[in-house]
Amino acid sequence: MECISVFDMLKIGVGPSSSHTLGPWRAAERWLQELKDDNVFNTVTRIQVDLYGSLSLTGKGHATDLAVMLGLSGSDPEYIPTETIDIIIASITNTEKLVLGDEKIIDFDMQSEIVFNKVFLPFHSNAITFTAFNMNTEIHQSTFYSIGGGFVVKEERTVAAENQELKSEFPFPVDKATELLAFCKSENKMISEIVLENERSLRDDKTIDFELQRIWQTMLDCMFTGCHTEGTLPGGLNVRRRAYDMHKNLNIEMPYVTSQDWLQSIRQSEVKFRQILKWVSCFALSVNEVNASLGRVVTAPTNGSAGVIPAVLMYYMVIENHEADFKHIKQFLLVAGEIGSIFKKGATISAAMGGCQAEIGVSSAMAAAALTELLGGSPEQVMIAAEIAMEHHLGLTCDPIGGLVQIPCIERNAMGAIKAINAAELALDTDPKNAKVPLDKVVETMWETAKDMNNKYKETSEGGLAVRVNMADC
């Protein structure tokens, strides 16, 4: 089993997909380092990138080819100014030259050097192979697998081995929900406190707080940007941004300039039930519209499901608790990250492996659990909330129209956020001794459902809405 930090589950990157954009981007970065470690980087004259399985079938819609070029160019998804992405891509396309690792200029024609292979490799459905040549002689080749949430592994599992070593340092190693509950009981601690102790074995408190604050600020800025940007999303579906109109109709009266001012202004707004539904939906839609535009988001646990956790946390801050501050944000993110890691260890967070239940379902469970602890729920009720949220996403397919993370993906974040809030409320009114379905059983069921699901419903755009509704209909 893996040692998974909160900062593995919540990663800052660029949209639209953690498995199809961020993962291949990170794989390209790792491959560049391999070339240097093997002392062949300076002899490379040509490269070829082969995409397999789901990366090939929906790679165009997910900007996989663009992510690969950005990674090979030496740009980092966490820090690249997003306004420069189009400039870099245009330069490569127009000149047919690529600055490998931002150091060495080589010829690169994306039409011939990035090959879309529809076949699936046995190890995982998201596979990418990089091959380096010196003239016509192959000098290096590596295959990586993007397994969801921006996680990238090689078949020999070297990353898992490193994580196992780290795990041995955790004071409270957790693979299953029952183990986490046992630690909470024996230590008389909340889930967030157990998770924090584990994080402290990897980094100091100052670093933990700084990184969690950076994650939250990225989420807040993403919501702010999405709510204040109108127009049509790229990709050819001509999807109109909805968060802008929804936000405008919610009529904030108090003036604001920054995202922090905006948060305070919303706290002064009307909070009837319909307005609450609209605010939560608006927050979720805004994030995933930014994601669909190659904007900066936080995987939570993936890019396609990045809107659920920010929307639910924002709901707590502007509706439930006007005094909420970083202490509450930290508590929420720690719990959410841990619940997400339990699903990753016991099942998957990749839609290419498990359908949308593995993305929106997991994000809804993470958000429900975190909100429940903030609202005073016991560790047992936190688990019940996560179980309820996932139980009612079981079997959800991933069938994006045109391979784009737009329809039905953006709306599903709004639905997942609302379900998370509802799950938290149900859990808070549940006596744990009366609960019938343990979280671990739902994790197992989700994985069994994923294995039984037809591949055409696993991010291949070969079934469901992806074939019933085509680009011409849109």
- Residue 162 pLDDT: 46
Give the single-character DSSP code of 239: P
Given the structure tokens 């590596």, which residue do they identify?
A: 142
**Cα(72)–Cα(248) distance, integer angstroms:** 40
Q: Give residue for tokens 């090979």.
A: 72
β-bridge pairing 46-53 and 126-134 = antiparallel
| Alpha-carbon gap, residue 404 to 369, rounded angstroms | 29
Distance, in Å, from the CA atom of 259 to the CA atom of 287, rounded to the nearest integer, reads 14
Q: What is the pTM of this model?
A: 0.92
Per-residue model confidence (pLDDT) at position 166: 52
With CA atoms as reference, report the closest residue to 25 among 80, 61, 72.
Answer: 72
Q: Which helix (H) or strand (E) covers residue 457, if one does? A: none
CB–CB of 414/311 below 8 Å? yes
Q: What are phi and psi of 460, to 5 degrees?
A: -110, -10
Which residues share a beta bridge with 132? Answer: 47, 140
Strand partners, 104: 100
Tokens of 159: 């990353």
φ and ψ at residue 28, rounded to 5 degrees: -60, -40
User: From first to last of its 474 residues, what are the pLDDT tens digits of the chain?
Assistant: 568 999 999 999 999 998 999 999 999 999 999 999 999 999 999 999 999 999 998 888 889 999 999 999 999 999 999 999 999 999 999 999 999 999 999 999 999 999 999 899 999 989 999 999 999 999 999 999 999 888 999 986 544 554 555 555 799 999 999 999 999 999 999 999 999 999 999 999 999 999 999 999 999 999 999 999 999 999 989 999 999 999 999 989 899 999 999 999 999 988 899 999 999 999 999 999 999 999 999 999 999 999 999 999 999 999 999 999 999 999 999 999 999 999 999 999 999 999 999 999 999 999 999 999 999 999 999 999 999 999 999 999 999 998 899 999 999 999 999 999 999 999 999 999 999 999 999 999 999 999 999 999 998 889 999 998 876 666
* Percentage of the chain lying above the pLDDT 70 cut: 96
pLDDT tens readout for residues 296-308: 999 999 999 999 9
pLDDT in tens, 388-415: 999 999 999 999 998 899 999 999 999 9
The whole-number pLDDT of residue 471 equals 60
In the prediction, which pLDDT does 378 show?
98
DSSP conformation class of 151 = E
- Comparing C-alpha atoms, which of 370, 364, 303 is closest to residue 331? 370
pLDDT number for residue 1: 52
Q: Side-chain half-sphere of 235: how many Cα atoms within 13 Å?
A: 32
pLDDT at 158 (0 to 100):
47
- Would you state the pLDDT for residue 10? 97
316 within 8 A of 324, measured Cβ to Cβ: yes
